[in-house]
Chain A
Amino acid sequence: DIPMTQSPSSVSAFVGDRVNITCRASQDISTWLAWFQQKPGKAPKLLIYEASSLESGVPSRFSGSGSGTDFTLTISSLQPEDLATYYCQQGNTFPALTFGGGTRVEIK
């Protein structure tokens, strides 16, 4: 198992703000890192794969960066529809996957 630590656990920001969420792996996972968005009462949705590749159809205000053990999801200009919990997921130990604890994004 590779524990994944996300921070912060929650963040509140204004519409238009830049929001950064970090994810740290307990060991080197190269770029085998994905980010998901889960809106209340819905299934998770893939946003970013391989640390920085944007999934088709995902708005360009979402971006990912990092490699090794430290990764960041950035929302460049927060929108009301971005209210959700965001999870990172490592795939270095395929097929066993592990997820971060989640970051709840709220709109001020």
Chain B
Amino acid sequence: EVQVVESGGGLVQPGGSLRLSCAASGFLFSSYAMTWVRQGPGKGLEWVSTISGRAHNSYYTASVQGRFTVARDNSKNTLYLQMDSLRTDDTAIYYCARMNVSSVTLDQWGQGTLVTVSS
């Protein structure tokens, strides 16, 4: 069974840092690009970042460029999102999702982890 499970969310002060993890199982992790999507309280879905299967390429939405870093460890089947210089508008549920490159969509999602940025 394909599964992705996020962890690492919590409460952090503005300007602080947090690292999210996403553990994958049930598929050949290194063969898939992986993506982070977030959803602010009562809001819609926002693409945050994507990393290629072998980590050669990574991409970010403009609002997190330079503050967030996506990484993966294919030996551990784990995706990461390092979030620095956090702002209150980064408060959201962060979802990890597997990207199907051929259909350009997200075919497996985790349950999400909540990040709250507040003083």
- Cα–Cα distance between A36 and B97 once the two chains are bound (Å): 13
Per-residue CB proximity of A11-46 to B under 8 Å, as 1/0?
000000000000000000000101010000011111
- Which stretch, B8-16, B42-50, B71-79, touches the partner chain A? B42-50
B103 adjacent to A101 (CB under 8 Å): no
Is B47 in contact with A43, judged by CB distance below 8 angstroms? no
Question: Which chain B positions have C-beta within 8 A of A96?
Answer: 47, 50, 59, 61
Pair count A-B, CB < 8 A: 64
Interface of B: prevailing SS: strand
Q: Mark A93-108, 1 if CB is under 8 A from B, else 0.
A: 0111111111000000
B95, CB-defined interface residue at 8 Å: yes
CB distance from A50 to the nearest CB of B (A): 5
* Chain B residues within 8 Å of chain A by Cβ, number: 23
Contact of B103 among A42, A49, A99 (CB under 8 A): A49
Kindly name the residue among B45, B59, B100 whose own CB sees the greatest number of chain A CB atoms within 10 A: B45
Q: Is the interface of A mostly helix, strand, loop or mixed?
A: loop
* A10 in contact (CB, < 8 A): no
A34 in contact with B47 given A43-B109, A96-B59 (CB within 8 Å): no
Contact with A along B37-69 (1 / 0, CB 8 A): 100000011110010000000010100000000
17 A-B contacts, Cβ less than 8 Å apart? Answer: A43-B110, A44-B45, A44-B95, A44-B106, A46-B106, A49-B100, A50-B103, A55-B107, A87-B45, A89-B105, A94-B101, A94-B104, A95-B35, A95-B59, A96-B50, A97-B104, A98-B47
Q: Which residues of B contact A (CB under 8 A)?
A: 33, 35, 37, 44-47, 50, 59, 61, 95, 99-101, 103-107, 109-112
